[in-house]
């Protein structure tokens, strides 16, 4: 059968073939793709085509590499809230050329999902995989930050028309595109009670298939061991916008430091409190949320207790996890966080906010320690408890690893994916 994937990013396999930079986001795509490519070419049940967006300075193209046909399309990636109807024309060209039996779309966060579904026009043969849920992101976006911070706008925010209020409004617009897309598909894949409930509210007629994700290959080898970590180090995989709860961790840090004065927080991703990789001085690139984070660090005297480690490759992320004593997921809403799954695969002790689909992914008091959304005191208590009881936290990590190795088993998930494709085409 011929299956056309629509992805939010250029697959690393394509980027590596052309010596291009690529995003480390959405690692499950690489995991799924790598598993498909492990099948001997002559025995593959599916013929795969892959669509991906490129910036407006690029040209649309078609290329075959290793038996996979790649199609690029031009999209304004810096404004995912804007719908560009001309993409529909490009998708019709791709659909006519590849003639897929199934169109499998990964994610609903970008308007190209809606454009493809409008162009394809065959709901029974369309499959949409839920990643985040834009409507809930819009609702929770501010994550209890002070009203004056929500209302503020820096030079950067004004120049880019990207204040916190504007960011939230952009997610509301994206949620409308997401809603129409879900209404235009007959098939949905998800992993959690959260995404099943949210999508069924919109389109109860769509068939829902439960399918776990395959993570990036590096995280299936190696195991977290307490003897190899920086003592009392906390790792946060992302913190560049309010939803991820960086501010809650900073509010919890003084309470943690009272018990463990050597505690240290490491944060990956875009550096919103310093220069990072930008050529511009901080006052020109500072966001309102970044300034708020800096103020919390100063107020709580945390300058020497927080390290921004920047954007990390697959191997760098893995190494950071193996060297950290605890993984924290402080988001106010998540579906099934990729970084959480990777921490589980490595067997890290985990503290997580009990939100969205997270309880479907990991079990509290057995595989992790939960705290309630936005409760920085509860977060601090959970961290301290994990460090007070290292034997229990180690058992939690081992349990989480066993769970993740089953949930994210590449062979099991590959067979499930093929089974879904067969079901749809039958």
Q: What is the pLDDT of residue 52?
A: 93
Residues 62 and 199 in one domain: yes
Taking the C-alpha atoms of residue 193 and residue 183, their distance in angstroms, rounded to an integer, is 19
Q: What is the pLDDT of residue 27?
A: 61
Residues 246 and 200 in one domain: no
Residues 179 and 208 in one domain: yes
Instruction: Give residue 10's pLDDT band: very low, low, confident or very high (50, 70, 90).
Output: confident
Q: Is the pLDDT of residue 39 over 80?
A: no
Residues 229 and 370 in one domain: yes
Taking the C-alpha atoms of residue 411 and residue 418, their distance in angstroms, rounded to an integer, is 11
For the sheet containing 62-65, what is the strand order?
A: 62-65, 68-74, 47-54, 2-6, 102-106, 126-129, 187-190, 207-210
Q: What would the DSSP string read from start to end of 242-290?
A: GGG-HHHHHHHHHHHHHH-TT-EEEEESS-SSS-TT-SS-HHHH--HHH
More confident site: 271 or 33:
271
Q: Is 192 exposed, middle or buried (0-12, 13-18, 19+ CB in 10 A)?
A: buried
pLDDT tens digits, residue range 78-88?
899 999 999 99
CB neighbourhood size of 323 (10 A): 14
Q: What is the pLDDT of residue 275?
A: 65
Give the domain CATH number at 292.
Answer: 3.40.50.2000
Residues 224 and 190 in one domain: no
Q: What is the pLDDT of residue 351?
A: 98
Residues 16 and 28 in one domain: yes
What are the Cα distances from residue 337, in Å, to 214, 239, 332, 362?
12, 13, 12, 11
Contacts of 384 (CB under 8 A, 6+ apart): 255, 256, 259, 260
Q: What is the pLDDT of residue 12?
A: 80
Strand pairing class (62-65; 68-74): antiparallel
Mean pLDDT value of segment 334-356? 97
Residues 300 and 367 in one domain: yes
Q: What is the pLDDT of residue 67?
A: 87
Residues 395 and 272 in one domain: yes
Q: What is the pLDDT of residue 185?
A: 98
Residues 150 and 250 in one domain: no
Residues 30 and 159 in one domain: yes
Q: How many domains does the chain have?
A: 2
Q: Is the pLDDT of residue 57 over 90?
A: no
Q: What is the pLDDT of residue 281?
A: 72
Residues 295 and 204 in one domain: no
Domain with 244, as residue range(s), is: 219-407
Residues 165 and 290 in one domain: no
Q: Round the average pLDDT of the chain to a whole number and report it.
A: 93
pLDDT tens digits, residue range 274-321?
865 566 677 678 899 999 999 999 999 999 999 999 999 999 999 999
Instruction: Give residue 31's pLDDT band: very low, low, confident or very high (50, 70, 90).
Output: confident
Q: Is the pLDDT of residue 24 over 70?
A: no
Q: What is the pLDDT of residue 237?
A: 97
Mean pLDDT value of segment 50-70? 87
Q: What is the pLDDT of residue 25?
A: 63
Mean pLDDT value of segment 122-143? 97
Q: What is the pLDDT of residue 35?
A: 81
């Amino acid at each position: 059968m011929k299956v056309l994937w629509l992805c939010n990013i250029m697959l690393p396999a394509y980027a590596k073939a052309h010596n291009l930079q690529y995003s480390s986001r959405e690692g499950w795509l690489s995991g799924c793709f790598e598993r498909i490519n492990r099948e001997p070419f002559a025995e593959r049940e599916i013929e795969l085509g892959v669509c991906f967006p490129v910036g407006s300075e690029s040209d649309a193209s078609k290329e075959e590499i290793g038996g996979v046909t790649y199609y690029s399309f031009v999209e304004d990636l810096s404004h995912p809230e804007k719908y560009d109807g001309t993409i529909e024309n490009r998708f019709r060209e791709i659909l006519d050329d590849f003639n897929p039996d199934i169109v499998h779309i990964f994610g609903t966060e970008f308007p190209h999902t809606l454009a493809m579904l409008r162009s394809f026009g065959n709901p029974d043969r369309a499959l949409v995989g839920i990643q985040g849920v834009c409507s809930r992101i819009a609702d929770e976006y501010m994550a209890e930050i002070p009203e004056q911070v929500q209302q503020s706008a820096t030079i950067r925010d004004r120049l880019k028309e990207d204040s916190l209020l504007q960011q939230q409004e952009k997610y509301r617009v994206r949620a409308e595109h997401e809603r129409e897309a879900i209404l235009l598909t007959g098939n949905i894949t998800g992993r959690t009670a959260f995404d099943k409930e949210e999508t069924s509210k919109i389109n109860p007629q769509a068939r829902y298939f439960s399918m776990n994700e395959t993570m990036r290959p590096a995280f299936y080898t190696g195991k977290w061991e307490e003897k190899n970590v920086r003592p009392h180090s906390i790792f946060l995989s992302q913190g560049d916008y309010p939803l991820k709860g960086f501010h809650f961790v900073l509010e919890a840090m003084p309470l943690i430091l009272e018990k463990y004065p050597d505690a240290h927080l490491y944060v990956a991703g875009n550096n919103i409190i310093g220069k990072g990789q930008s050529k511009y001085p901080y006052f020109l690139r500072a966001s309102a949320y970044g300034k708020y984070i800096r103020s919390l660090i100063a107020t709580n005297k945390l300058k020497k207790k927080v390290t921004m480690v920047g954007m990390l490759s697959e191997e760098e992320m893995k190494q950071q996890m193996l060297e950290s004593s605890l993984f924290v997921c402080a988001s106010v809403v998540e579906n099934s966080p990729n970084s959480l799954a990777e921490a589980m695969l490595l067997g890290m002790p985990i503290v997580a906010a009990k939100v969205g689909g997270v309880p479907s992914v990991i079990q509290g008091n057995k595989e992790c320690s939960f705290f309630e959304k936005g409760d920085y005191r509860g977060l601090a208590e959970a961290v301290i408890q994990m460090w007070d009881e290292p034997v229990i936290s180690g058992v939690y990590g081992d349990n989480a690893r066993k769970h993740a190795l089953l949930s994210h088993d590449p062979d099991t998930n590959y067979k499930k994916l093929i089974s879904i494709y067969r079901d749809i085409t039958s």
